C-alpha cells in the first residue's frame, strides 16, 4: 500500500487546531483564489466550536466562535471528521447515519474538500 502523509492514527492524535492547520497546508491556493467559503464546525464530544474561512486563497480558522453568515454549520465528532479525512469512512456514509450533520449549503463543504491537495509520501527533496 502507498504511504500517506497523515495516517488515521496521526489525524486522531491531532487537536482540532492542528487538524485545521494541516488542512490549511493542503489547501491549493491557486484553485481557491476567488472563492469564499465559511463553515462553522461544532464538536459536541469535545465541547468546542470553530469557524473556518477560505478567502484570498487561504484557509483560516478561529476557535470558540461561530459565524452568523456561514455557508453551512457542521455538527459531528472529531472522530468522525478524522475518519472522513483519512478515507476510513465516506462523507455520504456518515451523513446518512446522522453522525455528520450539515445544516445549510452542503455544497460548500464539498467545495472545501475539492480544494485540498493530496501530497505523495515519497517525494524528491532535491532533484537533479
Q: How much is the pLDDT for 3?
A: 42
Give residue-wise pLDDT tens across range 77-122.
999 999 998 889 999 999 999 999 999 999 999 999 999 997 766 6
Give residue-wise pLDDT tens across range 1-40.
344 556 788 889 999 999 999 999 999 999 999 999 999 9
Q: How much is the pLDDT for 120?
A: 65
The DSSP bridge partners found for residue 42 are: 49, 75
Comparing 88 with 124, the larger pLDDT belongs to: 88
Amino acid at each position: 500500500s502507498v504511504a500517506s502523509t497523515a495516517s488515521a492514527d496521526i489525524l486522531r492524535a491531532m487537536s482540532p487546531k492542528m487538524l485545521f492547520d494541516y488542512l490549511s497546508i493542503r489547501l491549493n491556493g491557486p484553485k481557491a483564489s476567488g472563492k469564499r467559503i465559511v463553515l462553522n464546525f461544532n464538536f459536541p464530544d469535545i465541547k468546542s466550536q470553530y469557524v473556518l474561512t477560505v478567502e484570498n486563497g487561504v484557509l483560516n480558522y478561529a476557535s470558540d466562535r461561530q459565524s452568523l453568515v456561514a455557508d453551512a454549520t457542521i455538527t459531528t465528532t472529531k472522530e468522525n471528521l478524522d475518519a472522513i479525512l483519512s478515507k476510513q469512512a465516506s462523507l455520504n456514509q456518515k451523513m446518512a447515519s446522522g453522525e455528520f450533520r450539515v445544516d445549510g449549503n452542503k455544497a460548500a463543504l464539498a467545495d472545501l474538500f475539492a480544494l485540498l491537495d493530496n501530497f505523495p509520501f515519497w517525494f524528491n527533496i532535491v532533484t537533479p
